[in-house]
Structure 1
Amino acid sequence: MSFQNLLIDYKERIQYITINRESKLNALNIATLAELHTALTEAFTNAGVGGIIITGAGTKAFVAGADISEFASFNTEQGRELARDGHKSVFNLIAEGPKPVIAAINGFALGGGLELAMACHIRVAAEHARLGLPEVTLGLIPGYGGTQRLTQLIGRGKALEMILSADMVTAADAFQSGLVNHVVAAEQLLAKAEEILNKILLRAPLAIASAITAINASLKNDQNGFEIEINEFGKCFGTDDLKEGVAAFLEKRKPIFTGK
């Protein structure tokens, strides 16, 4: 499928999704969110894709926020639906997806852009990247999970300061606080993201999906994370991959997982 606002590329089992609105600093408009939903859904169901790297076109921005002009005149209910639809169709879709998604933050990650990065399972940032949630300068708050995921990643006090002040932080500060996993030189960004993802792709795909489910459950008040872990652990025993993993361990060889 062709997209107007995304570039889709494949590198063996890795699917790249590049937000391609460089002249707009890759801002997320409604059309781009719809395309992201389609691209992610297809990637999660494509047996040939093991994991996804999301990045932005150019060197200035990963995603420098949402397209404010599209919702400036919304009323209360329209604003609520905008946030709810985004949560379901893109941000939660990524966070709860069965395949690992890495954000390669190649520049500004602001507002909805930082929320997109935080929805990903792992974040790698270029040294020059700047991250922030400046919504309160517009009379808004983050609406795509920013208040929740930032707090989960860096703690309540730091999240409050970052959101209430609307200040940007450097990539180095983001690493120090736990907001990003790695910081590298810009020219090494995609290689580092690939290195991490290729290591994950050596592991059992169904076990990876179960691990994501169990870890996510630890953040949900309406779920017993320990019970979810027990159930996901049990499910692994019904897979061919567990048999292969155990056999490879006993035979002192590398396993060949099939995702079955």
Structure 2
Amino acid sequence: MTSANTNDGFVRTAQDGAVLTVTLDRPEQLNAQTPATWSALASVGDSLGDDVRVVVLRGEGRSFSAGLDRSMFSPEPGTTGGLGDLGRRPAEAAEEQIREYQRGFRWLRRPGIVSIAAVQGHAIGAGCQLALACDLRVLAEDAQLRLPEPTLGLVPDLTGTSNLVELVGYSRAMEICLTGRPVGAAEAHAMGLANVVVPREQLDDAVAQLTQALLGPPVGASRATAALVRSAVRNDPETQDAAERRAQVLRLQELAGGR
């Protein structure tokens, strides 16, 4: 097993074979996030090796992530990367900075891996969007997901809206976003936000079981199938049928020793 720390972003990683565990490691602040957190997460994605098949994302302590660090809300000049700082920048520069923040989230659905969020306690705002960025979610019974940004005069801007609509559909996503209400674990499971809900003390075991199941199929077939499932969300049927044909021919050629 190999491990590493990104102290400025409070992100810890550990790799065991084909499984990379990424841990938000700021438990005394309920894993509140800052731009340094997103930079650290993006760096993990940038350095991801081809040997990694499953990424497990978790939060140390009693909550997955309570969202933005309070310093991000400071209106005072000098809080680099904070909301006040972004609001004072030219629009193009502010958008480019947010694009960079989003990189810390988007890599969790990159080709070649399947990502799992292990969520306990609060997953609020940026924390909720980080959980939504993963392919799969295992929730403890005490988990609560919430996107309060509109109630604060903001919008979810860390890849949350597209992922939420994919998972629960248009009308549910609209209601969850605009009301900012919490979604408990049982409701999350019923609407498709959670794949599994377990008692808090069983969270690690449930994630381990799911991880082993994901590692079961041959790597080539697993990655090709995951790519098809991802593309099916946006492709029309004809395009998706063609993608399936291409992927299957490649699989058959490999099995037959033709490539």
TM-score, normalised to structure 1, is 0.84
Counterpart position of 1:116: 130
SS of 1:183's equivalent in the other structure is strand
Letter in 2 for 1:220: R
Which of 160, 171, 175 pairs up with 2:174? 160
Tell whether 2:232 aligns with 1:227.
Answer: no
Tell whether 2:190 aligns with 1:183.
Answer: no
Letter in 2 for 1:206: G
Counterpart position of 2:65: 63
Q: How big is each residue's C-alpha offset from its partner over 1:187-245, in whole Å with a ceiling of 9 and x where there is no partner?
A: 11111011011011111112221122111112236993332222222222343xx459x
SS of 1:237's equivalent in the other structure is helix
Which of 24, 29, 54 pairs up with 2:57? 54
Q: Does the CA contact (< 8 Å) of 1:71 and 1:79 recur in 2?
A: no
Alpha carbons of structure 1 residues 29 and 97: separation in structure 2 relative to 1, 3 Å: farther
Letter in 2 for 1:72: L
- In 2, the alpha carbon distance for the partners of 1:203 and 1:63 equals 32
Letter in 2 for 1:27: A
- In 2, the alpha carbon distance for the partners of 1:155 and 1:186 equals 28
Q: Does the CA contact (< 8 Å) of 1:13 and 1:50 recur in 2?
A: yes
Counterpart position of 1:150: 164
Q: How big is each residue's C-alpha offset from its partner over 1:91-146, in whole Å with a ceiling of 9 and x where there is no partner?
A: 22111231111100022111121111111111000000110111012211111221
The 5 Å alignment of 1:104-143 reads 104-143=118-157
- In 2, the alpha carbon distance for the partners of 1:94 and 1:238 equals 29
- In 2, the alpha carbon distance for the partners of 1:187 and 1:22 equals 17
Counterpart position of 2:76: none
My pick for the range that moved more, 5-14 or 91-100, is 5-14
Which of 72, 76, 99 pairs up with 1:84? 99
CA-based RMSD: 2.2
Gaps of 5+ in 1: 245-259
Tell whether 2:114 aligns with 1:100.
Answer: yes
Letter in 2 for 1:230: R
SS of 2:188's equivalent in the other structure is helix
- In 1, the alpha carbon distance for the partners of 2:5 and 2:225 equals 32
Which of 221, 228, 239 pairs up with 1:207? 221
Letter in 1 for 2:82: F
Q: How big is each residue's C-alpha offset from its partner over 1:126-169, in whole Å with a ceiling of 9 and x where there is no partner?
A: 00011011101221111122111111111111111110000011
Alpha carbons of structure 1 residues 83 and 235: separation in structure 2 relative to 1, 3 Å: farther
SS of 2:225's equivalent in the other structure is helix
Gaps of 5+ in 2: 74-80
Which of 202, 207, 210 pairs up with 1:193? 207
Alpha carbons of structure 1 residues 190 and 40: separation in structure 2 relative to 1, 3 Å: farther
Counterpart position of 1:13: 18
